[in-house]
Chain A
Amino acid sequence: MKFWQIENLCLESALEQIELASSTLLSLLEKNGITDSDLVFTLRLVLHEALSNAIIHGNQEDKNKKVFLRLMLNEDRIVLEVEDEGNGFNYEERQRDEEVDLLHDGGRGLIILESLLDELVFKDNGKRVIMTKYLNRGK
């Protein structure tokens, strides 16, 4: 697997679409012999969190807006890129807010992304998130 394998999906702003994205990810991993259950669980979890952030907070579940997902896999890493059509958000500010309440109803997505990924980069005012997981090392 010397070159990048890439899957692109354009999703509606509906939470049901997470299942479609999740299936696409699982199929890409399986096709490439990535079966480690811990890694597969982690990748699926970060995908769910990033997509739900994009659909709920980014696009506010507006059916006229799309979420763009790109899955990129090569021999040493997988990169998941999620982009929404919302107004973006201040990543640093959100981080500070989330440190407060363990029993808040939501807001755990970013904590999960930060804990499990090897690299997490927000671009375009928070509308695009690029998440990298190395396949043979890291968290």
Chain B
Amino acid sequence: MNVEITEKRRENGLLSIFLEGEITYVNSNGVKNQIRSLMDEEIKMLVLDLGGVPFMDSAGIGVIVSLLKEMHVRGGKIALAGIQPNVGKVFWITKLDKVLPIYETREEAESAMHVSTVNNGFINLSTN
């Protein structure tokens, strides 16, 4: 049971990835390590597009919580996008929708990340 991870955008401290497959107790450690391997030190904004994830158990939630904590340690941010309705139920039950910014699309999440980062003033984005 593999999860395919596709890098969609990497620029100015932002890493945006699309996940495809189920995230469960069986593969959660592998998924976490795969994502971490893409996060070099410059990454301060992480967008996870879960549009290709039809099923997730609490181990999947654990992966996201772990990445959220890691981004906090770096002084960075994380946002989720594209969550399918059933998977959204897991976030709602565990109340993680209250601590994680969730957007309908990856593009919205990426824009929101840039805006909030500029407003916070801790990263200067290139206008090139």
Tally chain A residues at the interface, Cβ within 8 Å.
24
Interface: B90 (CB within 8 A): yes
Contact flags B39-71 to A (C-beta < 8 A → 1, else 0): 000000000000000010111011001101100
Q: Which of B26, B93, B96 contacts A16 (CB 8 A)?
A: B26
Q: Is the interface of B mostly helix, strand, loop or mixed?
A: helix
Give every chain B residue within 8 A of A42 (Cβ-Cβ).
89
Give every chain A residue within 8 A of B58 (Cβ-Cβ).
48-49, 52, 106, 108-109, 112
* Pairwise interchain contact B93-A111, C-beta atoms closer than 8 A: yes
Give every chain A residue within 8 A of B73 (Cβ-Cβ).
none
A48 CA to B65 CA, complexed, in Å: 19
A102 CA to B69 CA, complexed, in Å: 12
Give every chain B residue within 8 A of A103 (Cβ-Cβ).
65, 68-69, 99
Smallest CB gap from A38: residue in B: B86
- Given A45-B57, A108-B61, A116-B93, answer yes or no on A37-B86 (Cβ-Cβ < 8 Å): yes
Interface: B124 (CB within 8 A): no
- Given A105-B66, A112-B58, answer yes or no on A45-B26 (Cβ-Cβ < 8 Å): no
Q: How many pairs of A and B residues are in contact by the CB < 8 Å rule? A: 58
* Pairwise interchain contact B86-A41, C-beta atoms closer than 8 A: yes
* Pairwise interchain contact A102-B99, C-beta atoms closer than 8 A: yes
- Given A18-B24, A48-B25, answer yes or no on A115-B57 (Cβ-Cβ < 8 Å): no
* Pairwise interchain contact B1-A45, C-beta atoms closer than 8 A: no
Smallest CB gap from A14: residue in B: B26
Contact flags A105-128 to B (C-beta < 8 A → 1, else 0): 110110110011000000000000
The minimal Cβ–Cβ distance linking A92 to chain B, given in whole angstroms, is 20
Give every chain A residue within 8 A of B61 (Cβ-Cβ).
108
* Contacts A41-B55, A102-B98, A109-B58 known; 8 new A-B pairs at CB < 8 A: A18-B24, A19-B1, A19-B26, A48-B58, A52-B59, A106-B58, A112-B90, A112-B94
Q: Can you offer 6 A-B residue contacts whose CB atoms are under 8 A?
A: A15-B25, A45-B57, A48-B25, A102-B95, A106-B62, A109-B58
